[in-house]
Amino acid sequence: MFNEVYHNQKIRKHYQQLISAMGNLPSDVIRKKKQEAEETIRNIGITFSVYSDLDARERLIPFDMFPRIISSAEWKKINDGIVQRALAINAFLRDIYHTGEILRAGIIPKELVYQNPAFDVKMIGFDVPHHIYAPIIGSDIVRTSKEGFSVLEDNCRIPSGVSYMIENREIMMRMFPEILQQIKVEGVDSYPQHLLNTLCSLKPKNCYGEPNVVLLTPGPMNSAYYEHSYLADTMGIELVQGTDLFVDDGITYMMTTTGPNRVDIIYRRIDDKFLDPLSYDNSSLIGIPGLFNSYKSHNLSILSAPGSGLADDKAIYSYMPDIIRFYQGESPILDNICTWRCHIEDERKYVLDNITKLVVKEVHGAGGYGMLIGDRASKNNINKFKNKIKNNPSNYIAQPILNLSTVPIFNKSSLEQRHVDFRPFCLVGQNFTKLVSGGLTRVALKKGSLVVNSSQGGGVKDTWVLAE
C-alpha cells in the first residue's frame, strides 16, 4: 500500500510544510476547525442525495480538512495523460457514429458498440459541432505505487463533482489561510469560466451571434442538484427544467416573464432517455418534446452529445489503450487497470475461478452500486454474482482488488490513513483542451474501506497541485 505522505518512514518532500503546520495541531484546535468547516458546509448548502434513502433527504457532503498534495511533476503527467485520453475518446465517438474504422479493423468487437444500450442509432452520420461529443470528461484515477497513476474509469456523459472541487478549496482558505499563503498552490476557481468558454465554442451551425447557454437539470430531487445550481450561478447562465423550455418550428426557446428567449446551447445534466419524449422515452416528464429535432436541425447544441455515454461503458474502457494507439499513434501516458472482460470466454473463466481476488462491476454501473468486492463478499453473494456473469457475461468486467494509496484524515484528534482516488476534469472545446490544476479527491472514511463514493459512506478532500 502506497502512503502518499510518508516514504520509508520519511515525509515526502512536498508534504513537509503541510505536516509541519498541521501534523501536531492540538485536539481542541482540530475539533474547533472541524466544527467551523461543517458549519460552513451547512451555510453554503453543499449537499448530495442518495436515491436509495427512503426519505431521500439531502446530506451534507463529508469533508476532511487534511488536503491531498500533487507535485507539479506528477500533475504534468496527469494533465498530459488525461488530455490524450479525452482527445482519443472524442475521436472514437466520431468514428463509431460515422465510418466505424476501428470496428472494421477488428480492434473493438462490433457487438460491444452496436448492442450497447448507450449507442444512439439516431446519431449515425450526424456531425456535432467541431466533432466534440464529450466536452467535459471526468476520469477516475488511482495510485497504487510510487511510480504513478492509473485510470480506473472514464465519465463522459454527465460527470459530476466539480463543484465540490471548488468549494473544498473555499473551505480550506477559510480554515487555514496562513498555510495556503506559505505553500504555493494552483487555483481552481477559474473552472466555471473555462467551462462556459468551452460550451460557447461548440455553438450550433445556425447560431450567428453570442450563444444563449442554459443548464438543464432534472430538478431539486436529483442527487447532484447542488452542483447544477452552483455551476449555473457561477457561469452566469439560467438553470432550467424541462417545463421551462419548448420547441417551435425547430427552434428551442426558454419561457421568461418578458416572452420566449431562443436557446442555442444546453449543458444537460439529464440522461439521454429523458431528453425528448418524442425521440426517446415517451414516458419522460422532464424532457422537451421536439428537442432532438432542434438539435439535428443544427439550431441547438446539446452537450454532452446524445450517445456519448457509450464511452462511459466499462467494457469499452478496457480497450482505451488500443483506442489511443489507433487514433493518435501514441502509447498511453496513463495506464489502464488490468481488466478482464467477461464476454470473452477465457477471461470469463479466469474471473469465475478467481472471483474472491477480484472486483466485479456492471459495465453500466456507477456510484459503487452493482459491484462485488470478492474478498469481502459472502459465499451466497459470490454465487449470485457467478450466476449473473454466466447468464449475461457482456454485462460484467472484473479488475484486481487494488490497494489504493492512502492520505491521512483527521479522526477525532489524530491523523489516520485512508484510501483515496482522484477525479480531474478535462474540458475539450473548439481547438483547445483545458484542465484546471486540481480535481476531486474522494476518500474512504471507514478504516480499511476501498469504497470512496459519497453515496457509500465516502467523503471529499481538497486537492493541492503545487505551482512550479
Residues 356-378, mean pLDDT to the nearest whole number: 85
Q: What is the pLDDT of residues 107-154, one digit of tens each?
A: 999 999 999 999 999 999 999 999 999 999 999 999 988 778 999 999
Residues 372-397, mean pLDDT to the nearest whole number: 94
Residue 72 has pLDDT above 80, yes or no: yes
First to last CA, the chain: 28
Report d(CA 203, CA 180) in Å as an integer: 38
Report d(CA 337, CA 316) in Å as an integer: 13
Residue 336 has pLDDT above 90, yes or no: yes
The predicted structure's pLDDT at residue 448 = 86
The predicted structure's pLDDT at residue 333 = 97
The predicted structure's pLDDT at residue 437 = 96
Amino acid occupying residue 437: S
The predicted structure's pLDDT at residue 314 = 92
Average pLDDT, the chain: 93
Report d(CA 269, CA 272) in Å as an integer: 9
Neighbours of 137 (CB within 10 A): 29
Residues 235-252, mean pLDDT to the nearest whole number: 98
Q: What is the pLDDT of residues 151-178, one digit of tens each?
A: 999 999 889 999 999 999 999 999 999 9
The predicted structure's pLDDT at residue 91 = 98
The predicted structure's pLDDT at residue 453 = 81
Grid coordinates representing 402 are 487494488
Q: What is the DSSP letter of 64?
A: E
Residues 13-42, mean pLDDT to the nearest whole number: 88
Kindly write down the DSSP assignment for every residue of 213-258, as one continuous string: EEEE---TTSTTHHHHHHHHHHHT-EEE-GGGEEEETTEEEE--TT
Sketch out the chain's domains with CATH numbers: 205-299 (3.40.50.11290), 342-401 (3.30.1490.270)
Residue 55 has pLDDT above 70, yes or no: no
CA-to-CA dists, residue 421 to 71, 139, 354, 441, 465, angstroms = 16, 10, 25, 6, 15
Q: What is the pLDDT of residues 244-295, one digit of tens each?
A: 999 999 999 999 999 999 999 999 999 999 999 999 999 999 999 999 999 9
CA 94-81-267 angle, 5° bins: 50
Q: Of 97-106, 273-282, 364-373, 407-416, which gets the smallest average pLDDT?
A: 364-373
Q: Of 33-37, 116-120, 388-392, which gets the smallest average pLDDT?
A: 33-37
Residues 400-409, mean pLDDT to the nearest whole number: 93
Q: Is 189 left (phi over 0), alpha (psi -120 to 50) or beta?
A: alpha
Residue 52 has pLDDT above 60, yes or no: no
Share of the chain above pLDDT 70, in %: 96
Predicted confidence band of residue 190 (pLDDT cuts 50, 70, 90): very high
Q: What is the DSSP letter of 186?
A: -
Report d(CA 447, CA 444) in Å as an integer: 7
Which residue intervals of 45-114 are DSSP H helices? 72-96, 101-104, 110-114
Write the CB contacts of 270 (distance below 8 Å, at least 6 apart in sequence).
Answer: 158, 216, 217, 218, 286, 287
The predicted structure's pLDDT at residue 22 = 87
